[in-house]
Chains A and B, each alone.
Chain A
Amino acid sequence: MTMTTQARLDGDASTIGRPTPQVNAQEKLTGRALYGGDFRTPGMLHLKVLRSPYAHARIISIDTAAASALPGVHAVLTGDDTPDRLTGVHRKQHRILATSKVRFVGEEVVAVAAIDEDTARDALDLVRVEYEPLPLVHNMDEALSPGTIEVHESTGNLSIEYKVERGDVDSAFARAALVHEATYETTSQYPGYLEPMATVAWVEGDGRLVVRASTQTAFLQRNRFAEALGLPVSAVRVIQSTVGGAFGGKTVEECNSLICAWMAYRLGRPVRFVNSRLDDFLGARSSPAERIWLKMGVDNQGLIIAKEVKILADCGAYEGLATHVLQVSLVRSDNMHRYLKDVRLHGRLAFTNHPPRGAVRGFGGPQAAFALNSHMAELAEKLGIDPVEFMRRNAVRAGDTTVHGFELGSAGLTECLDQVSEGIGWITKKARRPDTGLKRRGIGFAGAIHVSGNREMGNWDGSIVTARMTTDGRVTLSTGESDMGQGAYTMLAQCCASELAIPVSHVTVLPTDTDVSPYGHGSIASRVTILAGNAAIRAGREIRGRLLALASETLGVPEGDLTVSGGEIFATSALPNRRLTFGELARMHIYRHGGEELRVTATYDPPTFLAMSRPDQYGNVAPGYSFAAQAVEVEVDTETGQVEILETFVSDDCGKAINPLAVHGQTCGAAAMSIGWALYEEMKFQDCQLLNGNFADYTMPTAESLPNIQSGIIESLEPNGPYGAKGASETAMLPGAAAIANAVYDAVGVRIRELPITPEKILAGLREQEATAAARERRHA
C-alpha cells in the first residue's frame, strides 16, 4: 500500500520533504515550555527519597521518628507503607519502595514529602536505616555460577534465556571457506537526557489520580500506575509534560513517577518529585552491558552463510525491558545478511546487584552492531576484501524476506554504504600510505538495521490520531505518542497539513492526556513516524473528504470540480465566488440538523506479526526497517592513546525525510551519543556501586569533543510508510562505536573488542604490538 499522495496536493502548501522548524519552537526558545519540574499546583509538597547505600542487604530497621518530627515534613514513608503487590513489565518483582531487602545501590527505601525540597532533604539526613549486608552478585558470570546467592529467590539469577536455531548451522559452518570467532564486550550507557526525571501528581476532587510527568509513554504509564496502586485504569489520568529528552529512559521503568504518584495518592495532596542528577543516575535504567560471542562463516564468494551468537547480558537487580533488549541484540542484526539461512542464537540475561538495566536508544541494537561490525571488519581483512564491499555484497535488498522473517518493503543499506563511502572519501583515504608518525590516521565504517515500529506488546502496534477542525478552520491533533524533542509533533502537523493543503502553523498537536487523547503505546521503537504519521495522513484525508462532501452539497458542485487550497474549497472553473473557507465549512458542519463538530479518528495498525509470541522469534515484526551506516576518520596519538575523530559521515535510510531538519538533527544526535558511548562515557562501578554518577565524572560529549558531524539521508521510499517514511531516531545510534573501533584498528593495528575505547586500552595494545615485534626480531636474530 503506497501512500504517496503529493501529486494530489496543491502547489506549495506541502512541507513534506522540506526543512521545517519545530512546531513548539516558540515556547521552547522563549523558556515558556513547561517541563516536568516547572509545573506546580497550590499546596504542592516536595518529595525526596532515601536510597540504599548497599548493593545487597537486608533491611533490619528504619527509624523515621526524627525526620517526621522536623517542622515542614508531612510524611516519611517506607516500604511497609506501600501496596504489597509487586509490579513489573513482565516478571512482577518490584515494590514501590524496598521492603525486607535492597538489591542495588540507589534502590528507593524511604520517601519524604515536605514543604520544600531543602526541608525534604534535611529530613532524609535524619532517617536511620539499619542494614545487614549480604554477599554481592558482582557480575553476570558470578550470577550464573552454581552456589551464588540469589538476587531474587528461585531464579538461579537467570532472568530469561533465548534459544533460536534455523537451518543446519553445523553443516553451514562446515561448508564455509572461512570461519572467524571472537568475543566483544559493551558497557552500560546512561541515557543522559538533560532534564532529570520529574513528576507532579495530585488527586482530583472526585478521587481520581492525576500524574503530570515527563514521559515517552503516557498510556503505558497509566496502566502501570493503576496496576501498582491497585486502581482501575479509569481512575488514573496521565498528562505528558514537555519532555526534556528521553532516549528510552522515560518509559515504564524509571521509578520517579511511580513513587510520586503513590505519595500523592496516599497523602491526597499534590506532590512534586524532581530527580537530582545523582537520583537520576542511580534510579534511571541504563543500557544492559553485554558480552557477545560471535562466530561467522563465509563462503568463497565472500557471502555470509553461517552465524552463531551467544550473549550474556547484565540485567541488574530488577527485570524490566532488558529481556526485550536482549532479544533485539540477539536477533535483529542477522537480518542485514542477505544470504544467511543457518543461524544459532543463545542469549541469557542475568540478575546482578548492579542497578537495573533497560531501554536506551537503539534498544540492544548498538551492542549487537558493535560486535557485528567489528567482526565483519576482521573477516574482511582475513578475506582480503574491502570491508565496505564485504558488507555491500551481503546487504539485504528491498523485497527480501530475511532469515528471521523480516519482510523488507524498502532497504537502503547499500545506498547508505555508498553515501558514507563517498562522503568520507573512502577510496582515496584507503589508498593513502599508512601514517608512521606519532599520530596516525585511520578510517573505519559500520552499518546497521533497526525497526520502525515493533509488534511486541500484545497483538497491536497501531497508532490513533484524532483530528478536530475548530470553527476557524484550524486543526487540533491528539495522539498517544510523545514528542521528546525528536520532532514527532512537527511531523504529525506536517502530514495533516499536507493532506489539507494548509500551513503547518494551522495545526496544533496536543501533548498526550490519557483522559482525552486516543490510546497509544507512545514513542518507543522508532514507531511514531511510520505509525502515527500514517494515522495523521488518514485523519487529514478524512477531514478533507468531509469538507469536500459538505462543500459539494452546499455549493452544488461535484467534488471532482472542487479545489482545496489555502484553507478554502472552491469550484475549479469559472465561478470565482463559489468558495467556502474551512472555517465556514467547520461551522456548517455543526450548525445544521444532526450536525456535529468536525472531528475524526483515524487508526493505522500495520500488517505485522507478533514474533515474540513464538519461541523461535520468527516473523515480520515491523512495517518498515531503517538502515544506517557511518564512516569515521580518526587520528590516534600513539603516545597518549587518544582518539580524535577528524571527520565522520552518517547516512540514515529513513525512507523519506518528511522533515530533513529533524532527520539530520536526530542523525547527528544519535551519532554523538554513539561517539560518547565508544570513547567518553563509562559507568564505573566498584562492588556494584556507581562511582561517577554525575556529569563531571560521567563525561558525555561536549561541543569541543565532537567533530562537525556530517549527515546524509537515503530515501528508500517505504511502501508502508507515510509518504514513504520510516523511523529515524535510533538507527544512527548503532554504527558509531564499531566504526570508531575499526578506524582505530586501521590507524594503529590495535583491535579493541571491549568498549569503551580508552587511551589506556590503546596504549596497552600498542605495547603488546611492540613486544610481539621485538620477540619476532629476537627469533629472527
Chain B
Amino acid sequence: MRDFDYLMPETVGEVSGLLARLGDDCRMIAGGTALLLALRQRMVTPTHLVSLARVRGLRGITYDPRDGLRIGALTTHAAVARSPLVRQRYPVLADMASRLANPQVRNQGTLGGNLCYADPTTDPPTCLAALEAMLVLGSARGYRYLPVTDFLVDYYASALEPDEVLTEIRIPAPRFDFGYHARFHRTAAEHRPLINLALLARRDGDVVGEARLVVGATTVVPTRVAAAEAVLAGRRVTAALAREAADIVAEAIDPVSDIRGGSAFRRDMVRVVARRTIERLVEQDSEGRIVA
C-alpha cells in the first residue's frame, strides 16, 4: 500500500466537500474489504482516504409500510442478514446476505461499500435490482435518488458523482410472495459466484401474476430480463414454461468471458440456473422436476 492521509469527517456535507476538493486522489472507505485488496495490490493509489465511520446517519435499518425498507449504507451484510425486519418482510434479501461470501466478509463488508465498488461478481447488486432498490446519494448539493440499476453502469463503475456519498438503500414495500436468490459457482471450491439470478413473483396457486427476474455476476451489470418476466406473467408454471422462459433469459443476456468462464459456457449455465429457479415457483420432486 502507498502512503495516504486518513480523514474522518462527521457529516455527509463534509465528506462531499473533501471529495470535491481532493478529486481522483481520494477514496472513500466504509468496511474496506474490497478497497483494501485494491490498495494492497497497488491497483489504486489514493493520497487520501475518507473514512465514513464517523459520519452520522449512515446506519440502521427501518421499515414503514408506505416507504418500505431503509438500510443505512454502512450496514454490514451480517446486520442485514440478522435484521428481523429484513427477515420477515424481505426474506430473499436476508437469505442472500446470510450466504454472501464468508462470515468474515459478512461482518466487515457493508452494503453501501459493495454497491459503490460495483464489482459485478458479487451478490447484492442482482438481488437489490430485483427488489427495485432505490439508492440515496448525498452531497453538499443535496440528495438525489437513483434506481440501483441506473447506479451500476459498468464493470467496476457506478453513477456516483465525484462529490457524492451513497447514504441509504431503499426498497419498496414488498409486493411479491416468492423470492429466491440463486447463486451458482462453477465449482464448489470457487469463492465468487459465476452467475447469480434473483427471481421475485406474485403467485395465485401455480399461476404467476407478476415476476421480476434479474441476472448478474456473469454480466457487467445486473440485467433485468423483461421478456422473460412477460412470458411468465399470467401463465401456469410448467416444465415447458420454465424452459421457454429460461431460453429467453439465456439469449437476452450478454455474458462476459474471462479465465473463470467463457461466454458460451456462462450462457448455458444461465439457462440452467434460470430454469431451475423458475421451477422453484411450484412444487418439485427430489430431482428438482416439477410435480404434476
Q: Which residues of A contact B (CB under 8 A)?
A: 118, 121-122, 125, 437-439, 639-640, 642, 644, 676, 679-681, 684, 691-692, 696-697, 699-702, 704-705, 758-760, 763
Contacts and interface: CB of A to CB of B under 8 A. Distances in A.
Nearest to B37: A696
Nearest to A122: B2
Contacts of B88: none
Interface stretch (B7-15, B203-211, B265-273): B265-273
Given A639-B272, A684-B259, A763-B268, A437 B287 contact: yes
B99 to A, nearest CB: 11
B259 A438 contact: no
Interface stretch (B134-142, B172-180, B187-195): B187-195
A699 B189 contact: yes
A433 to B, nearest CB: 15
B188 A696 contact: no
Given A437-B287, A640-B272, A697-B260, A759 B187 contact: yes
B189 A760 contact: no
Contact of A691 (B1, B259, B265, B268): B259
B188 A704 contact: yes
Interface residues of B, number: 22
Contacts of B42: 121, 125
Given A118-B1, A640-B272, A691-B259, A439 B287 contact: yes
Nearest to A682: B259
B187 A679 contact: yes
A310 to B, nearest CB: 31
A691 B268 CA distance: 24
Contacts of A691: 259
19 contacts: A118-B1, A438-B288, A639-B272, A640-B272, A642-B187, A642-B188, A644-B188, A679-B187, A679-B189, A680-B187, A691-B259, A696-B191, A697-B260, A699-B187, A704-B188, A758-B187, A759-B187, A759-B265, A760-B265
A759 B188 contact: no
Nearest to B2: A122
Interface in B278-292: 287-289
Contacts of B289: 438
A640 B189 contact: no
A644 B289 CA distance: 19
Interface in B1-45: 1-3, 42
A81 B262 CA distance: 45
B186 interface: yes
Interface of B: 1-3, 42, 184, 186-192, 259-260, 262, 265, 268-269, 272, 287-289
A187 to B, nearest CB: 14
Nearest to A276: B40
B258 to A, nearest CB: 9
A359 to B, nearest CB: 24
Contacts of A439: 287
A85 to B, nearest CB: 35
A33 B1 CA distance: 28
A704 B103 CA distance: 13
Nearest to A692: B259
The 10 residue pairs across chains A and B that have the minimum distance between CB atoms: A705-B188, A680-B189, A705-B189, A699-B189, A639-B272, A437-B287, A699-B190, A691-B259, A680-B187, A684-B259
Interface of A is mostly: loop
B246 to A, nearest CB: 11
A747 to B, nearest CB: 15
B192 A759 contact: no
Contacts of B272: 639-640
Contacts of B262: 760
Given A121-B42, A437-B287, 16 more contacts: A118-B3, A438-B287, A438-B289, A640-B272, A680-B187, A681-B189, A696-B191, A699-B191, A700-B189, A701-B189, A702-B188, A705-B188, A758-B187, A759-B265, A760-B265, A763-B265
Contacts of A699: 187, 189-191
Contacts of B260: 697
Given A118-B1, A438-B287, A639-B272, A676 B187 contact: no
A259 B188 CA distance: 38
A697 B189 CA distance: 10
Contacts of A681: 189
Nearest to B261: A760
A437 B269 CA distance: 18
A698 to B, nearest CB: 10
A701 B262 CA distance: 22
A707 to B, nearest CB: 10
A360 to B, nearest CB: 18
Contacts of A639: 272
B269 A640 contact: yes
A684 B258 CA distance: 11
Nearest to B187: A680
Contact of B192 (A696, A702, A705, A760): A696
Nearest to B276: A639
Nearest to A124: B42
A763 B265 CA distance: 9
Nearest to A642: B187
Nearest to B265: A760
Residue from B1, B189, B192, B287 with most neighbouring chain A CB atoms (10 Å): B189
Contacts of A763: 265, 268
Given A122-B2, A437-B287, A763-B268, A697 B259 contact: yes
B86 to A, nearest CB: 24
A767 B187 CA distance: 20
Contacts of A684: 259
Contacts of B288: 438
Nearest to A760: B265
Nearest to A704: B188
Contacts of B189: 676, 679-681, 699-702, 705
Nearest to B190: A699
Residue from A639, A644, A681 with most neighbouring chain B CB atoms (10 Å): A639
A744 to B, nearest CB: 13
B104 to A, nearest CB: 13
Contacts of B3: 118, 122
Nearest to A676: B189
A758 B259 CA distance: 13
Contacts of A696: 191-192
A680 B184 CA distance: 15
Contacts of A704: 188
A453 B222 CA distance: 56
A691 B259 CA distance: 8
Contacts of B192: 696
Nearest to A118: B1
A699 B190 CA distance: 6
A578 B105 CA distance: 66
A267 to B, nearest CB: 25
Contact of B187 (A118, A122, A125, A705): A705
Contacts of A679: 187, 189
A759 B273 CA distance: 15
